[in-house]
Amino acid sequence: MCGIIGYIGDKKASDILISGLSHLEYRGYDSSGIALMNNNNVEVYKAQGKLINLINILKEKENHLLNYNIGIGHIRWATHGAPSIVNAHPHTCCFNNLTLVHNGIIENYQEIKEELIKEGYNFLSQTDTEVAANLIAKEYTKTKNLLDAMQMAVKKMKGAFAFCAIHKDEPDKIVVAKRNAPLVIGLGQGENFVASDIPAIIEYTKKAIYLTDHQVGVVKKDSVEIYDENDNKVENKIEYLPFEAMAISKMGFKHFMLKEIHEQGDVVRNVLSGKLLQIDKSIKLDEFKLNKEQIKKISRVQIIACGTSLHAGLVGKYIIEKFAKIPVDVEPSSEYIYRDTIADENTLVIGISQSGETADTITAIKQVKQKHSHIAIITNRADSTMARLADSLLPISAGIEVSVAATKSYMAQLISLYILSIYLHEQLGFSDFKEEIQNLKQELLELPNKVEALLEDTENIKKIAKKYSNFKDFIFIARGINFPSALEGALKLKEISYINATGYGAGELKHGPIAMLDNNMPVLAILNTGIVYDKVLSNCEEAKARQARLIGVTNYMAEKDIPLFDDLITIPFCSDLISPAVNIVVLQLLAYYISEYLGKDVDQPRNLAKSVTVE
């Protein structure tokens, strides 16, 4: 989940590395560091904590660093060893001639480390990266060639990694390697770049080469050479980067999260564009590669995802089962990969990930591909590892999401699942639900306006957020299709405010959690008109009888029921079926404003990273 950056050219490398790292902070921010090379001299600078600490160190060296035109940088999310300067990257081998940055985990690092210690190698940190640096250095003593040393070393490592290495004796190059962790090479004129993700380099270049697994490469300022695991030179396709630098600007908002919440109306429009044309026309989904006959053979659907994407998948289960009449299992990727995989050629597997680089989900997808199931990937990154594994790629087109807490990508995933569900229904030729399908299509078309209307007036949500910002615990309850909304609302709150929030199916409240209720335990209930409204209302009465403070989120409430609630948040009227896409905006805003009142780091909450590239 760390971020890496590399530069080689004629410009001041430290400025480019710091700029790149600032756009990779979503991948981790426990510590940071850069290594700069000038001829045969390498200087390493590190800092614990946020990137600003490293920037302050470099300010004192500004003139000194003018002539350093090659460098590698790193921003860390700690896996091996606590956040500290000694554990921060870059790491130097014990010979002090090779310097390395790394994203991922080396699973057999302890075994390699023990062998190296026996041979006299010394270690200062607790990281697996320092082990890799010394292993590559050991191979260099044999080969006297950094590329060959990298190739030999990576063949001895197990796990997921992306490496950037420089060596004092080869001062004209950066050597890179990739396995199960993202790495992209940006191409310039008389300069080249290396990065974990394109936001780090988008302001400098629009052309890039994506490394694939088991590839190594030599990056010089005027050339790039890539080799496969058998040392054969290969020509990777040059691709044009799809984002603009403006996409990583706050555009006047205080935080990226607030900006991204406000972008959700346009996100819905983007997902629907070209797919939902008219309510009386069938959904157009050319990206889905199964034909009608193949769709009719689908006997089960498995949705595999993590975190927020998992909650989107739970909503997807409701609508796919309702309209396609196919049983759907939804499972965390991290659990899916450690049990027997029950799937076959008649199983549709849907992998969902904002980044497309979620390690657990990638492993699960690779595992189930061996069962010959059809793999549909819903992701925000059409250039990602998961996208390249897809049989059907359903890009959600949400644009770059910088804030660690997912908001607009969740909305886009929801809408993609609605579209896919309707598409499956229509391809299967069902004659029922015709009116309900048309109503749902109409509501999808109206959804952007409803989201934007909700965002126009947030004063009530701000007031409620301030009122409840000092509570230490929170419970979210809902039933039916909004049960995942309760889970996602609770997740948003604990992610960015560190309040202990838990989501429950409202009917489960009395099966244990009700024991926690008193006047110090706020309960937020989602109540939308529909078959579960009265049941959730009854559960609210049970909570109120235990002195819990009640917040209601609703699209309608009878006058007689209003006094039951301490606070109410009203959303634009919508059907129960589409309500998760409206309710979530309220829950995102509530979490945001509570976090802001508490003075938390909204965009970069502690211990978290945007792209989870380790299992």
Separation of alpha carbons 216 and 147, rounded Å:
8
Ramachandran angles phi, psi of 543, nearest 5°: -70, -40
Burial of 95 per CB tally in 10 Å (0-12, 13-18, 19+): middle
Burial of 481 per CB tally in 10 Å (0-12, 13-18, 19+): buried
Q: Which two tokens stand for residue 369?
A: 């591909």
SS3 track for 215-252 = EEEEECCCCEEEECCCCCEECCCEEECCCCHHHHCCCC
Separation of alpha carbons 341 and 363, rounded Å:
12
The answer to whether 610 is a known catalytic residue is yes
Separation of alpha carbons 403 and 262, rounded Å:
13
Of all helices (H) and strands (E), which one includes residue 184?
Answer: strand 184-187
Residue 402 has a CB neighbour count (10 Å cut-off) of 21
Ramachandran angles phi, psi of 10, nearest 5°: -115, 0
395 Cβ neighbours under 8 A, 6+ residues apart = 287, 379, 380, 381, 382, 387
Nearest 5°: the CA angle 608, 308, 361 is 85
Separation of alpha carbons 451 and 429, rounded Å:
32
- Asked if 609 and 27 touch (Cβ cutoff 8 Å), the reply is yes
Residue 349's alpha-carbon distances to 66, 333, 380, in angstroms, are 52, 12, 18
Burial of 515 per CB tally in 10 Å (0-12, 13-18, 19+): exposed
Place of tokens 């896919």: 420
The answer to whether 574 is a known catalytic residue is no
Among residues 178, 441, 492, 610, which one is catalytic?
610
Among residues 2, 164, 540, 574, which one is catalytic?
2
- Asked if 47 and 88 touch (Cβ cutoff 8 Å), the reply is yes
Separation of alpha carbons 439 and 444, rounded Å:
9
Residue 524's alpha-carbon distances to 479, 583, 590, in angstroms, are 12, 12, 11
Q: Give 81's DSSP letter.
A: S
Nearest one of 329, 327, 385 to 360, comparing CA atoms: 385
Residue 161 has a CB neighbour count (10 Å cut-off) of 24
Separation of alpha carbons 507 and 532, rounded Å:
10
Residues belonging to the active site: 2, 610
